[in-house]
Amino acid sequence: MLHKFLSATMLATSLVVAGGAFMTPAFAEVVYNRGNDADPETLDPHKTSTVAEANIIRDLFEGLVAQDAKAELIPGAAESWTVSDDGTVYTFKLRQGATWSDGTPVTADDFVYSFRRLLDPATAAQYASMLYVVKNGEALNTGKAKPEDIGAKAIDPSTFEVTLNAPTPYFLEMLTHQATFPVSKASVEKLGAEWVKPGNMVSNGAYTLAAFVPNDHIQLVKNPKFHDAANVKIDKVNFIPTEDRSTAMKRFEAGELDSNFDVPTEQLADLKVKFGDQLKIGPYLGTYYFAIKTDKEPWTNPKLRYAISMAIDRDFLAEKVWQGTMLPAYSMVPPGIAGYTAAAADFADKSQIDREEEAAKLLAELGYGPDKPLKLEIRYNTGENHKNTGVAVQEQLRPLGIEVSLLNVDGKTHYSYLQEKGDYDFARAAWIADYKDPENFLGISRKASGINYSNYDSPKFEEAMNLAAASASKPEERMKHLSDAERILIDDVGQIPLLYYSYKNLVSPKLHGYEANVMDVHPTRFMSKD
């Protein structure tokens, strides 16, 4: 079905010549076919949680602050802003004449409405805790305050003011995340849940939603009402789910995809030869980890969690399974954040043999071993690399008497199950930086976080995180508290970090403006295509 769709698209915009080559006339639309992991569970900015969703929503909507091709901060829906001397009040001036895709004005009231909507318990937003830095944000989300009580108000139609609980160094960068993007109050209230469908969605970004065919493609078209539409070179972008990485490679080679976000690492050597500099590999601020159901027996026991974590050979995963495109991880916060010292697992410097021997002793103390096996199910979302990681861990734990079974589901189902607090043992998960700050990687383990798949709950961890928040005006002290919090999390084995990411993208030479960056953010509005 995908092949037929792509053929129809290109026939509509190209002239077919003998041998199957395409000759594109000057008047043809520029179409970008973009591999993008799985279908989104939703395109509502306030209900999303995955990178695949963020890639699409970044094209459809624009927050107060945006990211350029290199993921650097630039003005977005706000053309300028000021910050009070004490660092707690941000005043944003919206762009004059900016409109939604239906032609109605984008106003400060839309941002007030959107901040309140994200924090409204009825929205059930996974990222609601992101706005806990806003005055009374947490109180609203926990039912202890009214919407009008939060520190977000419209001074006038083009002036939006946000009051924070305390200075928050990463606040502006946080506003590039889709959870803080505006939605049209008029559209949402008129259409309810139907507002996100093609033909209904009103957005303020460089593109609008034209079609959504599940398991086939999502098509966006250029928004002529976008404030920078004159500089948007690509007319249509098709986001195509490519959970099957091997098939995606064939589609890329055939010219059906102009880019893909990932590759099957077991084919990496061949892919380097085949695609040369079209294969882009570099550091990516993200952590690949196992979430653990910490409130389910027997995983409530931190000693058991510790033994399993210690037994996993991360060097093998990084070098053999991921072909050197990942690094072994012993902390939740990856390297590369200035001023922060991560708290690594205390067994990080031990040999793998010593780790396995100690893990076997701990398991024996707990009553487990080859004669008394422990059953463990690991869930993972579709992808050759995830499957191979699960199989490797399965083999590593087998000699210790741990019988691992693997359960594979598609990405949409996988993350929906985790968000809904489904019943599982271990689950493959990943955290990619929303902003360059250790709080972003540690905040997902807070009790109130909608992304706390492990249901980790530690008063000591919460206290350290609160101390960090209260020390926002003292950077060194704040980083020390964050490191203390990570030490508690790692010692408790609230999550099991396995690997630090690198991006592994395939990019056609016909595509320009696809800039390498540690956030692996690539807004279509900054690209062009031959």
Pair (346, 474) in one structural domain: yes
Pair (223, 291) in one structural domain: no
Record the tokens describing residue 116, joined without a space.
């309140």
Closest to 184 in 3D by CA, of 100, 118, 62, 112:
100
What pLDDT score was predicted for residue 505?
A: 96
Q: Which domain holds residue 335?
A: 282-503
Closest to 369 in 3D by CA, of 447, 304, 448:
304
Assign 299 to helix, strand or coil: coil
Q: How far is CA 20 from CA 14, 17, 26, 251, 418, in A?
A: 11, 6, 19, 15, 45
| Rounded Cα gap, residues 322 and 377, in angstroms | 22
Domain assignment of residue 272, yes or no? no
Record the tokens describing residue 220, joined without a space.
């966006």
Asked if residue 427 lies in contact with residue 386, where contact means CB atoms within 8 angstroms, the answer is: no
Asked if residue 226 lies in contact with residue 232, where contact means CB atoms within 8 angstroms, the answer is: yes
Pair (13, 29) in one structural domain: yes
Beta bridge partners of 379: 407, 427
Question: In 10 A of CB 156, how many CB atoms?
Answer: 11
The radius of gyration of the chain's CA atoms, rounded to the nearest angstrom, is 24
What pLDDT score was predicted for residue 338?
A: 87
Record the tokens describing residue 242, joined without a space.
């490519």
Domain assignment of residue 449, yes or no? yes
Domain assignment of residue 191, yes or no? yes
DSSP string, 440-463: HHHGGGSTT-TT-TT----HHHHH
* Residue given tokens 């949402």 in the structure block: 188
Pair (288, 228) in one structural domain: no
What pLDDT score was predicted for residue 14?
A: 35
Domain assignment of residue 174, yes or no? yes
Asked if residue 326 lies in contact with residue 314, where contact means CB atoms within 8 angstroms, the answer is: no
Burial class (CB in 10 A: 0-12, 13-18, 19+), 297: exposed
Asked if residue 167 lies in contact with residue 477, where contact means CB atoms within 8 angstroms, the answer is: no
When divided into structural domains, the chain yields a total of 2
Domain assignment of residue 264, yes or no? no
Q: How far is CA 434 from CA 284, 442, 455, in A?
A: 12, 12, 21
Pair (234, 307) in one structural domain: no
Domain assignment of residue 359, yes or no? yes
Pair (288, 414) in one structural domain: yes
Pair (46, 129) in one structural domain: yes
Specify the CATH number for the domain of residue 338. Answer: 3.10.105.10
Pair (24, 86) in one structural domain: yes
What pLDDT score was predicted for residue 19?
A: 35
Pair (22, 103) in one structural domain: yes
Domain assignment of residue 257, yes or no? no
Question: In 10 A of CB 87, how many CB atoms?
Answer: 15
Pair (299, 445) in one structural domain: yes
What pLDDT score was predicted for residue 190?
A: 96
Q: How far is CA 265 from CA 216, 269, 272, 278, 406, in A?
A: 24, 8, 11, 15, 20
Pair (223, 111) in one structural domain: yes
Pair (232, 307) in one structural domain: no
Q: Which long-range CB contacts under 8 A does 8-16 form with residues at least 24 apart?
A: 9/33, 9/236, 9/238
* Residue given tokens 């209260």 in the structure block: 470
- In the chain, which residues have pLDDT < 50? 1-26
pLDDT tens-digit series, residues 224-248:
999 999 999 999 999 999 999 999 9
Specify the CATH number for the domain of residue 39. Answer: 3.40.190.10
Domain assignment of residue 463, yes or no? yes
Q: b/e per residue, 10-46, with b = 16+ CB within 10 A?
A: beebbeeeeeeeeeeeeeeebbbbbbbbbbbbbbbbb
